[in-house]
Amino acid sequence: MSLRNRIAFYYTITTAFLIALVFAILYFMVESIVYKQFDEEINNEVTELFTDAHATSHDFTSFSRFKTFIDDNIEVKIDPKEAVKVDTEFIQLVNIEGEVINKSINLARNVLIFKPGETTMIYFNSTINNSAIRQGQLPLFNRDGIIKGYLIIAVPMKKAIIVLNDLENVFRFSFPAIILTLFVLTRLIAGKSIRPIEKVIATAEKMTQPNIHQRIGLPFHHDELYRLSATINALLDRMEDAFQREKQFTADASHELKTPLSVVKGTLEVLVRKPREREQYENKIQFCLMELNRMAQLIDQLLMLARYESNKMNPHIQEVSLPIALEAATARLHPIAFEKKIEFKITGTEKASVTADLAMLDIILENILSNAIKYSHEASVVTITIERQERNILCSIADQGIGIPEEKLHAVFERFYRVDESRSSGTGGFGLGLSIVKRLADIQQIKVGVKSNKTIGTTFTLTFPSTAS
């Protein structure tokens, strides 16, 4: 069932229940009012009867006081052998056993229904000659409070029953027509209401990667459909950005892998053209091995980045001594720094402890420090500062290198990004180190910041979420 039909169906079912409830309430209210009017008419007849008989229902002495009056009370006199007329009032007097003591002449050979054992005035429906009547049965007490008989009065309900039947027929036959009309109208209104959704579906069905730049038109009213369209457009923006980044990543990875393969292929092709000295073979083979090692290193970094971005690795968070971790990282990078006569200088809190994954933290520190070495001038200093800030611990790594232009700072954590747009790998990097740093930091809820000046150098700041001493 389509959304339009479901909306119309559920709305119609709910409304049908409410309409049926309203119809039932109206019918029973009218019926109650009709019966109340008949009961009042019966009460009036009782009052008139007792007034004319100069008696009450609580000082009943004998049936003889009512005998003549009952006959005179009905204006229409009929022969007992004739058929009863059901458009007049009926009166009947019975003893406590239910035997008819007297009754109005218009009852002819018929008697009114008697319900024994009742001690109060009761009202109920019955029939006489297949015609509906409303009866009232009143117990007659003597002065000692003992019931000696019953006075039964009935009034015809033929016209009222006709009215009630007509009302019931109106409700019965109008109900299906109302429900059917309501369903059709609701379906039309629902169809008009969900038309923007159909536009969203049509636009989404036409959308593919080549035309992912298209967006869904926003409705005029700022309602739920507007929010839906805006949310889908935002999702498409993120998808387009992801496609572009994946496209760029594929192109960059292909370029980085193709370069060493081309170099190795070209070197080997030169070697096989003619016989050469052993020393030349060894040199070329060593060169090829160096390029293959670079390619293996690139593949390892790509696998590491993919593994971290898939959220399949859970960090083992523990308390780590930050100064000890820094000393271990600088010791591993000391041979590389020594070649450029670069000195490491660590200042700040000696006993600062942070919560982090030690293996991931080592990778973060090594990548940032290796970048500082690569882009620093010879015989310069890489300053590492540890400081407390409220409940956090900050670790700043500042070099005295070439710096990064301010307009390019936002992109330094992107994969394969290099400040040098020629994508020269002369520094030995692939542009993946800072991407790995950012991903590992996010996993451990460590904030990474960077600021740079082309004349002073670059400073990376790590803000750890909690500290311990």
Residues 22-79: pLDDT tens digits?
Answer: 999 999 999 899 999 999 999 998 888 888 777 777 777 777 666 555 555 444 344 4
- Averaged pLDDT, 275-288: 84
> By the 8 A CB rule, do 116 and 98 touch?
yes
What pLDDT, on a 0 to 100 scale, did the predictor assign at position 114?
A: 93
- Averaged pLDDT, 170-197: 85
Is the model more confident about 354 or about 281?
354
> By the 8 A CB rule, do 60 and 149 touch?
yes
Whether pLDDT at 323 is above 80? yes
Handedness of CA 385, 386, 392, 397 (dihedral sign): positive
The C-alpha R_g of the chain, in whole angstroms, comes to 51
- Averaged pLDDT, 97-122: 88
| Cβ-defined contacts of 213-221 (< 8 Å, 24+) | 213/240
Whether pLDDT at 400 is above 80? yes
> By the 8 A CB rule, do 91 and 153 touch?
yes
Beta bridge partners of 152: 92, 137
Q: Where are the alpha helices (DSSP H) in 310-427?
A: 322-339, 358-374
- Averaged pLDDT, 314-332: 88
| Cβ-defined contacts of 248-254 (< 8 Å, 24+) | 248/415, 248/416, 249/415, 249/416, 252/415, 252/416, 252/423, 252/431, 253/298, 253/302, 253/416
DSSP track, 331-356: HHHHHHHHHTT-EEEEEE-TT-EEEE
Q: Which pLDDT band holds residue 153 (cuts at 50, 70, 90)?
A: very high
What pLDDT, on a 0 to 100 scale, did the predictor assign at position 429?
A: 57
Question: Where do the domains of the chain lie, and which CATH numbers do they carry?
Answer: 3-166 (3.30.450.20), 224-309 (1.10.287.130), 318-468 (3.30.565.10)
What pLDDT, on a 0 to 100 scale, did the predictor assign at position 124?
A: 93
Q: Where are the alpha helices (DSSP H) in 133-223?
A: 158-193, 195-206
What pLDDT, on a 0 to 100 scale, did the predictor assign at position 82?
A: 46
Whether pLDDT at 447 is above 90? yes
Q: Name 326's Cβ contacts closer than 8 Å, sequence gap at least 6.
A: 346, 365, 384, 386, 395
% the chain with pLDDT above 70: 84
Minimum mean pLDDT among 34-48, 248-262, 292-306: which range?
248-262
Question: Where do we find the tokens 């271990």?
Answer: 328
Nearest Cα residue to 139 out of 149, 129, 131: 149
Q: How far is CA 167 from the centre of its chain?
A: 45
Handedness of CA 5, 7, 12, 14 (dihedral sign): positive
> By the 8 A CB rule, do 373 and 382 touch?
yes
* Cβ burial, residue 458 (10 Å; 0-12/13-18/19+): buried
C-beta atoms surrounding 130 within 10 Å: 6
Helix axes 358-374, 433-443, angle to 10 degrees: 150
What pLDDT, on a 0 to 100 scale, did the predictor assign at position 255?
A: 61
Q: Give residue 171's identity as a one-letter amino acid code.
A: F
> CA-to-CA distance for 398 and 373, rounded, in angstroms?
10
- What's the angle, vertex CA 97, arms to CA 96 and CA 103, rounded to 5? 75
Minimum mean pLDDT among 7-11, 185-189, 347-351: which range?
347-351
> By the 8 A CB rule, do 467 and 392 touch?
yes
What pLDDT, on a 0 to 100 scale, did the predictor assign at position 312?
A: 59
What pLDDT, on a 0 to 100 scale, did the predictor assign at position 74?
A: 45
Q: Which pLDDT band holds residue 80 (cuts at 50, 70, 90)?
A: very low
> CA-to-CA distance for 331 and 375, rounded, in angstroms?
19
> By the 8 A CB rule, do 135 and 151 touch?
no
Q: Which pLDDT band holds residue 463 (cuts at 50, 70, 90)?
A: very high
Whether pLDDT at 213 is above 50? yes
Q: Write out the two tokens for 329.
A: 């990282």
Q: Which pLDDT band holds residue 81 (cuts at 50, 70, 90)?
A: very low
What pLDDT, on a 0 to 100 scale, did the predictor assign at position 76?
A: 39
What pLDDT, on a 0 to 100 scale, did the predictor assign at position 77?
A: 40
- State whether residue 89 is helix, strand or coil: coil
What pLDDT, on a 0 to 100 scale, did the predictor assign at position 416?
A: 64
Minimum mean pLDDT among 304-318, 332-346, 455-469: which range?
304-318
Q: Name 138's Cβ contacts closer than 8 Å, sequence gap at least 6.
A: 46, 57, 121, 150, 151, 152, 153
> By the 8 A CB rule, do 104 and 85 touch?
no
Q: Over the chain, what is the mean pLDDT?
A: 81
Which of 189-198, 270-279, 444-453 ranks highest by mean pLDDT?
Answer: 444-453
- What's the angle, vertex CA 358, arms to CA 355 and CA 360, rounded to 5? 105
- State whether residue 464 is helix, strand or coil: strand
Minimum mean pLDDT among 159-173, 212-226, 227-241, 344-358: which range?
212-226
What pLDDT, on a 0 to 100 scale, did the predictor assign at position 65?
A: 60
Q: How many CA atoms lie within 13 A of 191 on its CB side?
A: 7
Beta bridge partners of 258: none
